[in-house]
Structure 1
Amino acid sequence: MISRALYPFLSEALDSSPAVALLGPRQVGKTTLALEIGKVRGALYLDLESEQDLAKLAQPELYLEDHQDRLVIFDEVHRLPGLFPVLRGFIDKGRRAGLRTGRFLLLGSASLDLLKQSGETLAGRISYLELSPFNILETGERTSEDLWVAGGFPESLLAKNPRQSLRWRQDFIRTYLERDIPQFGPRIAAEALRRFWVMLAHNQGGVLNAAQFSRNLGVDVKTVTNYLDLLVDLMLVRRLPPWHGNIGKRLVKSPKVYVRDSGLVHALLGIQDKEGLLAHPVVGQSWECFVVENLLGAGIGAPQGFFYRTGGGAEIDLLLTWPDEEIWAVEIKRSLSPRPERGFYSACSDLAPAKKYVVYPGAERYRIAPDIEAIPLPQLAAEIHAKAILNVEF
């Protein structure tokens, strides 16, 4: 079993808060991680997609009353929204009795739905963590290129061969479109959403142009926005916001958008293996977004991620802003002899970041300028993770 970097953060959150919500797309490993930590804590597990477990909660007050001394794990908790007021009552009652932490672990596949339900009812009583697909810190002997091609979903990465990996991802996409997505929002034609998802993959890492998507799909801009909101909510697509500040420059104001898991990008585009990827026009943007997603995942939410671009051509692929107000600038190159563009130097002059890196697919870390380091992805991910440990609070 591959150890998850989130494990100690989840354990600490349960030690600090009466309820913790663990969010992430389906098949990302939420249940496995929850059961692993639940085994240590003697937890009770309830799958709310199971009719048998749902029946146990026909009268949740009575059921939970019999298990006050145990951590209770609720899988797919968004299926039972009426449970949240009950949990609030038990948390408040437990606080009066001295039971202040580690009462409930809530697992959910749709962040907006769960955040809205829990936020309205459990405000001040719940912490949130997101579990992403495997990142470069977790995959051990597998190379960053293996992870890049297959993506980080466990069943895809651990498949016996590339053909089985691709088939799993294709089935995953089909299941989301035909079964899962209709559960989370207004009825959307699966084929229309598939076309939009494929367009996002072709436009991987591009600045959002909703009007162009609208024309290509034959729908209005509002519908495009709804499609995008849904895929972001399901944690399948990321909107990387532009950095904004009063620096006297004309800044790009639209976000970049990309499919978060590189393996899903390749499946949507029909790319079967590394050779096919290297010959595809999306290869550069696929690598860039793979690096961005891994670095943000390594940070466990501690640094906020942005990109920086001005009308004059100054650009930084990824800006990490830390709670201590430190800024890190990251340029991404898929070259063994990486060199920053002129726009990177110009952008760094605008923002004066504390650290400047160029991530590349090599194995050696070295200086390419007095204040700029070329660095392999695993090393920068480890550095970000180490700093995140000092900054994450629950």
Structure 2
Amino acid sequence: MIPRRKSAELFALLDSNPAVVLLGPRQVGKTTLALDIAEQRPSIYLDLESDADRAKLAEPELYLTGHEDKLVILDEVHRAQGLFLNLRGLIDKGRRKGLRSGRFLLLGSASMDLLKQSGESLAGRIAYLELTPIHGLEVAPDDLNQLWVRGGFPDSLLAGTDSISQRWRIDFIRTYLERDIPLLGPRIAAETLRRFWTMLAHHQSALLNAAELARSLGVDGKTVAAYLDLMVDLLLVRRLEPWHSNAGKRLVKAPRVYVRDTGLLHSLLGLTTIEDVLGHPVAGASWEGFVIETLHAVMPEGARPHFYRSSAGAEVDLVITLPGGGRWAIEIKRSLAPTVERGFHHACLDLQPDRRIVVYPGREAYPLGNGIEVLSLPELGVQLAWNGR
């Protein structure tokens, strides 16, 4: 079992909130993490995809009141969304008895309905935590390339061969399209959504051009926006927003879009091995998305990520505004001998960042001149995580 960095944060949230929702795509390791917690405190686990476990909640208040001295773990909670109103009453009754934390751990794939109903029913009583696929600070440096190629879903990453890993990801994509997404969101033809997902893979890290995607799919721009919102809500796609300021610069307004897990990205493009990936035009954009996902997973609470791009060509791949107001400008390079273009220097003149960083696949840290630091991904991730403490 690969230790997850979110474990400590999840324990802290359970110790300070009556209910916690652990969100993440299917097969990302939510149940494994929850069962690990269950071994360390009195708990009861119910899988709401099981008819037997759902039957136990036919009278939810009666059943759950009998277990108010335990942490109740409800897996696939989106299968019983009407339960949230019952939980609110149970939490409020428990508070009057002095039971103020650690009552319920709810596991679910992030869907619009789940977030909406839990937020409306349990406002002020619930905390949210996202469990991402395994990221670059959760594996040894020697395993980074394998993580990049196969992605962070545990069954894909730990498969015996690249071919087995690829087979798992292909099956995962098919199951998500044909079974899971229809359960979690609006009904969309699986083949249409596969085409859309594949188009996003071909445009990894590019500016969103909804009109172009709409023409390719034969739908209108509003439909493309709805498809994208669904994929973002399900934590399968990231929409990185552009930096905005009042500096009078003409800045790009369209977001950049990334397939979040690079293993899924590579499967959508038919890439199995690292040689396949390195020989494909998507390699640089794939590495960029991989770095962004790792940094996003470890950045401190309240940090805000953007990219910067002006009409004059000034550009930074990632701008992180820290909770205390500091700003890091990060350029992402796949080369072992990275250099920065003129656009990065111009962007730094506009942004005036506290740090100028180039992240690359090597391991040595060294200065590049003009105040620029070259760092490995693990080193940058550690520095970013510690900056929030």
Matched to 1:26, the amino acid is R
Gaps in structure 2 of 5+ consecutive residues = none
**Does residue 180 of structure 2 align to residue 202 of structure 1?**
no
Q: In the alignment, does 2:170 pair up with 1:170?
A: yes
- Equivalent residue for 2:185? 185
Q: What is the CA-CA distance between 1:370 and the residue it aligns to?
A: 4.8
Distance 2:124 2:73 in 1: 19
Aligned to 1:369: 369
Report what 2:224 is aligned to: 224
Q: Is 1:333–2:351 an aligned residue pair?
A: no
Q: Which residue of 2 aligns with 1:152?
A: 152
Query: How far does residue 110 in structure 1 lie from its aligned partner after superposition?
Result: 2.0
In 2: Cα distance, 1:353 partner to 1:141 partner: 28
Amino acid at match of 2:125: R
**Aligned residues of 2:300 and 2:322 also touching (Cα < 8 A):** no
Q: CA deviation at 1:324?
A: 1.1
1:278: which partner in 2?
278
Alpha-carbon distance in 1 for matches of 2:46, 2:300: 26
1:256 matched residue in structure 2: 256
Q: SS at the partner of 1:4?
A: coil
Query: What is residue 360 of structure 1 aligned with on the other side?
Result: 360
Contact preservation (8 Å) 1:159, 1:165:
yes
4+ residue segments displaced more than 3 Å? none
> What TM-score comes out, normalization by structure 1 length?
0.97
Report the Cα distance in structure 1 between the residues aligned to 2:173 and 2:220, rounded to whole angstroms. Answer: 24
| Partner residue, 2:108 | 108
Does structure 1 conserve the Cα–Cα contact (< 8 Å) formed by 2:300 and 2:384?
Answer: no
CA-to-aligned-CA distance 1:260-305 (integer Å, 9 cap, x gap): 0000010000011111111111111111111111111122654221
Mapped to 2, the partners of 1:18 and 1:210 lie a distance apart of: 41
Partner of 2:87: 87
Partner of 1:350: 350
Identity of aligned residues (%): 62
Contact 1:316/1:330 (CA < 8 Å) preserved in 2? yes
Code of the aligned partner of 1:36:
D
Displacement of 1:66: 0.3
Q: CA RMSD in A?
A: 1.1
The alignment partner of 1:338 has SS state of coil
Secondary structure of 1:119's aligned partner: helix
Distance 1:243 1:130 in 2: 24
TM-score between both structures, scaled by the size of structure 2: 0.98
Give the counterpart letter for 1:138 in structure 2. E
Tell me which amino acid in the other structure corresponds to 1:339: T
Q: How far did residue 156 of structure 1 move?
A: 0.4
**What aligned pairs does 1:132-151 form with structure 2 within 5 A after superposition?**
132-140=132-140, 142-151=142-151
**Alignment CA distance shift 1:301-1:157 (3 Å):** farther
Count of residue pairs the alignment pairs up: 389
- The question of whether the paired residues in 2 share the 8 Å contact of 1:148 and 1:290 is answered with yes
* 1:385 has 2:385 as partner: yes
Q: Which residue of 1 aligns with 2:265?
A: 265
Letter paired with 2:266: H
More divergent stretch after superposition (140-149 vs 285-294) = 140-149
Q: Distance in 1 between matches of 2:325 and 2:300?
A: 17
Aligned residues of 2:141 and 2:378 also touching (Cα < 8 A): no
Q: Please give the secondary structure, in 2, of the residue aligned with 1:49.
A: coil
Deviation for aligned residue 1:350:
1.0
